[in-house]
Amino acid sequence: MRHSKPSLLDVADALAKLREKIPAIGPAEEMGVDESIERVLARDIYSQVDIPAHDLSLMDGYALRSASATRASRRHPVQLKVTGELYPSSSPNELRLRSGDAAYVATGAPLPRGADSVVMVENVERSGSHVTIFRKPAIGESVAKRGEDIRRGLLLRKGTVLRAQDVGALRGIGRKRVQVAQRPRVGILSVGDELVRQASQDPTMAVGNYALILSLFLRELPVTVEILGICPDRLERVRQKVKETLDRIDLLITTGGTSAGAKDIVVDALASVEEGGWIHRGLRLRPGHTTAVGLVRGKPIVALPGVIIPAVAGLYALAVPLLEHLIGLPQETLLPKVPAVIDSDTKKRNVLSFQPLRLSRHKNGLVATPVGGGAGLLSRLIDSNGFVLVPPKSEYKRGETIDVTPYAPSELTHIEEI
């Protein structure tokens, strides 16, 4: 079906309309803390304990009252009486120090009551039941104070994407289970007679690699992704595939068939799935103005062009923000941003512009180099590791510091040193 020139909708307006109509997915899912890595917290987490639970020694040494050795020096050492020994399994109540006392403490051992500092074993001399101190210790020296690491109260906020250290902290405060947001389920459907033809001619050929690229970008996020295969440019086939799929996914992404050609039937197929559904083709996005967005059976849909750079532009300008909303996260929180100095000007346009960038590390910091070329060049993605979305009627000048978004978190480990 041949389409008239679409009226272009601002990307921000399209997202706002969809966010109004779709809630975050729920309810929250409960799971074991050990398996919660890279999941998103559905509730604030409060610690009911201080860590450490009491003052601890950071060194093998001798705990003492610092006031007992205020005059200690090499010329005038101070001798203290050793009244006991404490180890990590000991209780701080096992021993109380008086003025002139000291106690041996292993690394991680609790300080005995009355002690306020630790002198390392390398800086003392032990002789029988006495220890000689050769310098004045500072109050709190070599001591981890109670609650210095984690204090009772708020530990992790709702919306935190759990990292290894976060999971470790949860275990450290005694949590065994945790409430996390459900992973949005994303389906990616490729549409195009040429893809079907390639697949039938050579079954061993990797066909639909654009869907694979998009899925691999998304798989580093707290979502699940299913590649739904390839449909020919037949309205009924696409409609039937969409109808079969919507019940088991939370976001549908299609690639191909969104332009104005005779075989570009994706928008019509989507619109035919549900009477009263909403589909809009045409966004103020460059590249990617033929991208379509919509809501069918309560599920958001992003229909991307069948050209790689516009497809990736739509993924990050539309699909990723929708996934943040479905998870219940604030905007622009799923992917990190890193500051970098851009080394050439971007163009000022009247629309939101997707600009691939190559991040490199120089002696003065990160530099972002725009990677140009045609909209169909996969090599632009190969030569880049991030992007910036340039707001309408804006530009970035050479030497300006901008926030660069990597295609995926792992991109930050592949930044070339210059």
**Residue 200 above 70 pLDDT?**
no
Name the residue ranges covered by the structural domains of the chain. 11-26+182-327, 30-49+157-180, 56-144, 338-417
The mean per-residue pLDDT over the stretch 175-203 comes to 84
> Could you give the 3-state DSSP secondary structure of residue 279?
strand
pLDDT band at 198 (very low <50, low <70, confident <90, very high): low
Backbone angles phi, psi at 372, to 5 degrees: -95, 180
pLDDT digits (tens, 9 = 90+) for 371-397: 999 999 999 999 999 999 999 999 999
CB 334 within 8 A of CB 323: yes
pLDDT at 193: 81
Q: In this predicted structure, what is the pLDDT of residue 2?
A: 43
Beta carbons of 150 and 51 less than 8 angstroms apart: yes
Mean pLDDT, range 58-73, rounded to an integer: 95
Read off the pLDDT of residues 100-119 as tens digits, 9 standing for 90 and up: 999 999 999 999 999 999 99
- On whether the CB atoms of residues 386 and 359 are closer than 8 A, the answer is yes
| Domain 338-417 of CATH type 2.40.340.10 | yes
| Residue 1: per-residue pLDDT | 41
- Kindly report, residue by residue over 66-97, the tens digit of the pLDDT: 999 999 999 999 999 999 999 999 999 999 99
Residue environment code for 261-281, b if the CB has 16+ CB neighbours within 10 A, otherwise e? eebbbbbbbbbbbbeebebbb
The residue with greater pLDDT, 263 or 175, is: 175
- Whole-angstrom Cα distance, residue 56 to residue 3? 73
Point out the least confidently predicted range of 144-153, 219-228, 272-281: 272-281
Mean pLDDT of the chain: 93
Amino acid sitting at position 206: A
252 pairs with which residues across the strands?
A: 187, 301
C-alpha 1/C-alpha 238 separation (Å) is: 14
Which CATH fold would you assign to the domain 56-144? Molybdopterin biosynthesis moeA protein; domain 3 (2.170.190)
Which DSSP symbol is given to 316? I
What is the dotted CATH code of the domain comprising 11-26+182-327?
3.40.980.10
H or E element that contains 365: strand 365-370
pLDDT per position as a tens digit, 135-145? 999 999 999 99
Listed in sequence order, the residues at least 6 apart from 355 whose beta carbon sits closer than 8 Å to its beta carbon are 346, 370, 387, 388, 389, 390
What is the percent of the chain with per-residue pLDDT over 70, rounded to a whole number?
Answer: 95
Contact 301, 254 (CB under 8 A): yes
pLDDT (tens digit, 9 = 90+) per residue, 327-358?
Answer: 999 899 999 999 999 999 999 999 999 999 99
pLDDT in the model for residue 260: 76
**pLDDT tens digits, 360-371:** 999 989 999 999
Rounded mean pLDDT of 241-262? 92
Tell me what percent of the chain is helix, strand and coil, each rounded to the nearest 5. Answer: 25, 30, 45
214-240: b (≥16 Cβ within 10 Å) or e: bbebbebbbbebeebbbbbbbbeebbe
Question: Rounded mean pLDDT of 242-269?
Answer: 91
pLDDT at res. 275: 84
Cβ(190)–Cβ(230) below 8 Å: yes
**Is 194 a residue whose pLDDT tops 90?**
no
Give the confidence band of 196 by pLDDT, cuts at 50, 70, 90. Answer: low
User: What is the model's pLDDT at position 264?
Assistant: 84
Lowest mean pLDDT among 30-39, 168-177, 191-200, 224-233: 191-200
Question: Tokens 């691999």 sit at which residue?
Answer: 216
Where is 391: in which H helix or E strand?
A: none
- Name residues whose C-beta falls within 8 Å of residue 363's C-beta, 6 or more positions apart in sequence: none
CB 190 within 8 A of CB 208: yes
Confidence grade of residue 207 (pLDDT, cut at 50, 70, 90): low
Q: Which residue has the tokens 């295609």?
A: 407
The pLDDT assigned to 93 comes to: 92
Model confidence at 308: pLDDT above 90: yes
Q: The whole model's pTM is what?
A: 0.83
Q: Taking the chain, what is the end-to-end CA distance rounded to the nearest angstrom? A: 51
Residue 324 has pLDDT above 90, yes or no: yes
Q: Which pLDDT score, from 0 to 100, does residue 3 have?
A: 47
Residue 201 has pLDDT above 80, yes or no: no
Instruction: Tell me whether strands 101-105 and 78-86 are parallel, antiparallel or unpaired.
Output: parallel
**pLDDT (mean) for 288-305:** 96
Helix (H, G, I), strand (E, B) or coil at 311: helix
Question: According to the model, what pLDDT value does residue 292 have?
Answer: 95
Q: pLDDT band at 206, cuts 50/70/90?
A: very low
